[in-house]
Amino acid sequence: MVPRQHDWQVGDLLQPAALRGGKPAIREIEMPAGNRQELIEFAAADELLPGAYDFIVRPLHYGEESNDHAYLLRTDVIGSRRITGVVIRENFWKAKPVLGGCVNKVPLSGRSVAGAPYFQYSDTFEVGENVYAALDPGIVDPGNLGKMCALYVIPSKDEAGWNADNSLNHLAELGGNSAVVKLKVQSGCVNANKVLVWPSAMTEGEYDIVADFGNNASDAASFVPDNQYNTPLDVIDGYFVPAFVWSRTREHSKTS
């Protein structure tokens, strides 16, 4: 198992990923005779660290060692070229800013990317740039999957502001609450859950994005937003710090 690379070429350096404890993620197995599939356990669940990986399979013959060659060979089999072989994510509850608490905060704002990984999270944009929002199915509450939500872009508020008023007022220049973008959170890929929430914005400032799950419906026809940020059901990018900033120059960005 090696860290994900988008365009493998013969001769590329193979640097095995590390398992928890520091051991290299390498397994040697002996395949039984005959043309049949073989199911193996590569590593226990708690041995795999969060990250994106590819599987490289190298046929070996008697007397050869798996580390004889540190580079990709023509005879190597790549488990996946165009898509990531496997993604290991942090446990949802462990990754929450408030463990077991009420602030369901995840990154939402970013830029659309044409190819893999399809979305780049960012918290700073230039005036006139498009801002997208995306709900990564791997980091939202599993209960949000398959449910409808409405995405509000609002001026940023801190914890005290939210405690005083949890109402959601989508920016007037985006059409107000009647014009919020709605989507059903899909499992699988973040690409299915990215939408344009503010095209060519020209107003500088600090903003939050809230995914309002309203009446918690799965059907688009019966979904009704409640125009409020309610915990722990709704998702927010903000609360502790602004979700994103519009400025004349780009200074920093979230990890994609």
d(CA 73, CA 70): 9
| pLDDT, tens digit, 9 for 90 and up, residues 49-99 | 877 888 888 887 766 655 556 888 888 888 876 677 777 766 665 556 564
d(CA 25, CA 44): 11
Domain boundaries, given as residue ranges, for the chain: 1-88, 93-247
Report pLDDT for 255.
42
Report pLDDT for 250.
46
Helix or strand holding residue 11 (H, E): none
Report pLDDT for 184.
96
Average pLDDT over residues 118-136: 89
| pLDDT, tens digit, 9 for 90 and up, residues 129-167 | 899 999 988 888 888 999 999 999 999 998 889 889 999
| pLDDT, tens digit, 9 for 90 and up, residues 17-59 | 888 888 888 888 877 777 777 778 888 877 888 778 888 888 8
